[in-house]
Amino acid sequence: MNDLSRRALGLSAVGVAAFAAMRASVAEAQTAGGTWFDMVRAHHTLIADNLVMILATSDSQVAERTRLQKHLGYLLTAHSVAEENVLYPALARLGLTQASDQLYIEQAHAKVGNADLEVTPKGDDAWLAKVSALKTAILHHAKDEEEADLFPKLAAGVSARENAMLTADYARQFASVQRV
């Protein structure tokens, strides 16, 4: 992207570099060759980093906010498709039905929150306050519930063969969502 098109989009040089790095790390996370849990942690980090970047923008950077939020929508969709089609059903099969149901509900709320960001004017503090609330909810769901509690139980509760199947299925489902 040259200086002219960057200025036309209202993107700072730092924003462009960070955005490019984030896009590259999505591909990296997909091809890292780790377990499903490694991919989940990598995708959580990408989502958290994206939210931090949005919160660092000023009210005048509407184009950058729009671009970052569009990418956030992609990350949330790809990650949620993989979790909802692969990992949450596996939690339910393990007997953690209530917890699985709760994760689906929280993820639905995150989608409502993200959709709200799309229709709220991005040039004022009210939009940023909504991003901040969404970040708090997403990080609680991802860090406190999934990473610290439920996903360790899933990884330990199924066989090595099923863990390998979950890894292949998670990667395939995540990659099925078209990147933006």
Summarize as ranges the residues that interact with Fe ion (CB under 5 A). 83, 142, 146
CB of 147 to Fe ion, least distance (A): 8
What three-state secondary structure class fits 140? Answer: helix
Chain centre to alpha carbon of residue 120: 20
Q: Do 87 and 100 touch, CB atoms closer than 8 A?
A: no
CB of 103 to Fe ion, least distance (A): 5
CB of 176 to Fe ion, least distance (A): 16
Closer to Fe ion by CB, 64 or 83: give it: 83
Closer to Fe ion by CB, 64 or 146: give it: 146
Closer to Fe ion by CB, 61 or 80: give it: 80
Closer to Fe ion by CB, 39 or 142: give it: 142
CB of 138 to Fe ion, least distance (A): 8
Q: Do 72 and 50 touch, CB atoms closer than 8 A?
A: yes
Q: Do 25 and 35 touch, CB atoms closer than 8 A?
A: no
Closer to Fe ion by CB, 46 or 142: give it: 142
What three-state secondary structure class fits 177? Answer: coil
Q: Which two tokens stand for residue 132?
A: 């901040």
Within 10 angstroms of residue 46's Cβ, the number of other Cβ atoms is 21
Residue 34's nearest CA partner among 164, 180, 125, 179 is 164
Q: Which two tokens stand for residue 145?
A: 């519930």
- CA-CA distance, 159 to 163, in Å (whole number)? 6
CB of 44 to Fe ion, least distance (A): 6
